[in-house]
Structure 1
């Protein structure tokens, strides 16, 4: 299979996207083939890193296939509401979280409902959505409503007020920008078993230097073909939003992957994408009038200079 790998064959060898394509190539050609939870099988590497400079509005938006950045943005904004039910997402036409509750519904009811019919019932029937659309305490719950417990003085504890990590993060960066505790955590060990899917992009750390906000995302598990393009966009977008709220310029975004893998049934996607050359330098502008991290809407984000190559589809492993 002929892939574009040597630097001499690249029309723009310094393009930010080559590090993503090189990672995909390394996994596909040298990754350890493994059995996995889904039964599909993967090729995997461990401890991979990517690095992007977000100066001048730059964003790590993949160009060798279409990435639906508006869908990824709607998901991020949904996280910031603290919501864990898919109903607000599917009402916007976003079905990226639907496979997990659908699989649970089919398993527990033995009703082989189609995905389209399931989504329609989630939208039309509030009680059905409440029963079958909830994902458990996933990202949004941990980000803005991490559970706390307060000692009652008799050896017992009562449930306390939820901790809004996002609000504390913004406040901390404003008051103590050079602190070393600017962390957003999703890996709540006590609640993992109640989640439809434990956090993949789990820990974010922020760092200020020379008036720029840098961030590092640690991701425990990464589907490089389908998930990582969304993860890169969303994490960089969160960094940009926070930078705007604390009066800093966007700096370096670093991504660290634990189990970094490609599914074996993504062969057509991988081989097609590795024949393509990246092109263009997508930029993002954010509405500067929004003064609350929780007040953004999709209309506050504008992407420039994004002309991606055609979409490549592949199945999601659940």
Structure 2
């Protein structure tokens, strides 16, 4: 079985050659396949793509945001992470409090109209500044609802109690490693209407064997060019963190995707990436003075010998 970065590149080729042309909620259009699995042996290196540069700090700060149980983008902006901005920005520009120029369909219009794109960037900067400096504004418009952090750390029961799934799964790995119930779910049907974006990575499960911790993610929907490389590295990092806390080595990350797709405006970027030669994977170094997953900060991670090809830019579909 093909593993590692080559498995990811093979998925890209599969979609280009055999993908079904489909419409989607963003109106962009995709080519997709249904039901695909990749495997990454974490002992061979940290699975951050080398055929294009991927920003590790964005991945790590987002994961820490999830782990903290946070759902407000202020923490992300404080760490120069803008990957969730558009969903919060959309809530603001569609509200009665917004009195600026029309931002309807800003995702598409900013790509097609340079004058609009300049105005959009201006409004986005205003929005970010308000999130960072105005507590009331950040509380109202920076929060994305019942997204990953809430489901991982504060899943609400019918009786109004909260379940800390992440803490519980760590306790389960420590105390009953052979259990088949090391599961965290982000898909809470009751809360879907209150999420900025229903969770794409819906459920993950851990597996302990031979002193190693492995993780499998089920992802209902995967933006193969922009999103999936982040998801691979994010869950690999989470596996490293939990293995460290539980005194285990890392095993495999298994990535199972339902709808694996490439957006129609990413096709040329994917073709460029596929022409590049794979390079050796980097290594991940953790600050071993920290033991608990919940104590780590961005400065506690070090990526060693990461030598990727240049980044390839592509628009995000909102």
Alignment TM-score, normalising by the size of structure 1: 0.90
Residue 155 of structure 2 is aligned to residue 129 of structure 1: no
Is the Cα–Cα contact under 8 Å of residues 73 and 298 in structure 1 kept in the other structure?
yes
- Judged with a 3 Å threshold, the aligned counterparts in structure 2 of structure 1 residues 15 and 208 are, in CA distance, closer, same or farther, namely closer
Residue 273 (structure 1) aligns with: 273
Q: Across the two proteins, how many residue pairs are aligned to each other?
A: 295
Once the two structures are overlaid, the 10-residue window that deviates more, 212-221 or 282-291, is: 282-291
Match for residue 155 of structure 2? 146
Q: Which residue of 2 aligns with 1:205?
A: 205
Deviation at 1:170? 0.7
For residues 27-46 of structure 1, the aligned pairs below 5 Å read: 27-46=15-34
3-state SS, counterpart of residue 267 of structure 2: helix
Decide which structure has greater helix share.
Answer: 2
Which residue is 1:165 aligned to? 165
Is structure 2 residue 227 aligned with structure 1 residue 218? no
- How far residue 128 of structure 1 moved from its aligned partner, in angstroms, is 1.2
Please give the alpha-carbon distance, in whole angstroms, between the structure 2 residues aligned to 1:39 and 1:293. Answer: 39
* Post-superposition offset of 1:240: 0.7
- Matched residue SS, 2:28: coil
Is the 8 Å Cα contact of residues 21 and 274 (structure 1) preserved in structure 2?
A: yes
Deviation of the 1:267 alpha carbon: 2.2
Residue in structure 1 matching 2:5, options 14, 17, 24: 17
Aligned match of 1:153: none
Q: Which residue of 1 aligns with 2:104?
A: none
For the pair 1:117 / 2:126, whether they are aligned, the reply is yes
RMSD, aligned α-carbons: 1.3
Note the C-alpha offset of 1:110: 6.0
Is residue 2:82 matched to residue 1:95?
yes
Q: Shift in Å at residue 48 of structure 1?
A: 0.7
CA distance in 2, matches of 1:41, 1:261: 10
Find the aligned partners of 1:229 and 1:139 in 2 and give their Cα distance: 18
What's the secondary structure of 1:261's corresponding residue?
Answer: strand
Runs of 5+ consecutive residues of structure 1 not aligned to the other structure: 1-13, 151-158
Q: Could you tell me which residue of structure 2 aligns to residue 185 of structure 1? A: 185
Instruction: Indicate if the aligned counterparts of 1:138 and 1:195 stay in contact, CA closer than 8 A.
Output: yes
Which blocks of at least 5 consecutive residues in structure 2 are unaligned?
Answer: 102-119
Pairing partner for 1:65 from 49, 52, 55: 52
Bigger mean CA offset, 119-128 vs 136-145? 119-128
- Do the aligned partners of 1:86 and 1:97 also contact (CA within 8 Å) in 2? yes
Q: Give the Cα separation in 2 of the matches to 1:197 and 1:316.
A: 14
Q: Once structures 1 and 2 are overlaid, which stretch shifts more, 110-119 or 301-310?
A: 110-119
Aligned partners of 1:45 and 1:260 also within 8 Å: yes
Whole-angstrom CA distance in 1 between matches of 2:196 and 2:99: 19
The CA deviation at 1:15 is 7.7
Which deviations, in whole Å up to 9, do the C-alpha atoms of 1:25-84 show, x marking residues without a partner? Answer: 11122100001000000000011110011116x211100111001111000001111111
Secondary structure of 1:131's partner? helix
Runs of 4+ in 1 over 4 A off after TM superposition: none
Q: C-alpha deviations, 1:173-205, integer Å up to 9, x for none? A: 110000110001100010001000011111111
Contact 1:15 1:278 (8 Å CA) reproduced: no
State the distance in 2 between where 1:186 and 1:308 align: 32
Question: Helix, strand or coil for the counterpart of 2:203?
Answer: strand
Distance in 2, Cα, partners of 1:111 & 1:223: 31
